[in-house]
Structure 1
């Protein structure tokens, strides 16, 4: 689906934790997440930690969306 949306002229960022799957299906802009059940957080963390993590990951995704790329790119995130 990502490829079809991009073919229509809309850039897409896929946020996922299974990077090999995202590259196999042809996602161009990939932002790594944390885990399958909690892609943007960990319920064991404090609310402040979760907010910082989410803020950072969404910021990386927005930067990825604005980045002109020529090939599949996995964007770096803080751990």
Structure 2
């Protein structure tokens, strides 16, 4: 999971899951607790799927906005 995808690519990260922002990578304090839970649950689920996926080259996994 990374905020700065281009930087992560340059250091050789194979599996990339975009996060929200630098100060709040897995949340948005402007939203309700329920929305934050959904957002975090989705991102962590994508990250777990990324860890179990077989890849041949570096890949950025898609997340809901």
Q: With the length of structure 2 as denominator, give the TM-score of the two structures.
A: 0.98
- Equivalent position of 1:41 in the other structure: 27
More strand per residue: 1
Q: Determine which structure has more spread, i.e. the larger CA radius of gyration.
A: 1
- Equivalent position of 2:62 in the other structure: 76
Over the aligned positions, Cα root-mean-square deviation in angstroms equals 0.4
Residues 1:56 and 2:26 are matched in the alignment: no
Residues 1:25 and 2:14 are matched in the alignment: no
SS at match of 2:17: strand
Residue deviations 1:33-76 (CA, integer Å, cap 9, x gap): 00000000111110000000000000000000000001000000
2:32, 2:40 → 1: CA distance? 12
**Unaligned residue ranges in structure 2 (runs of 5+):** none
**Unaligned residue ranges in structure 1 (runs of 5+):** 1-14
2:3, 2:62 → 1: CA distance? 13
Q: Structure 1 residue 77: deviation in Å?
A: 0.3
Q: How many residues align?
A: 65
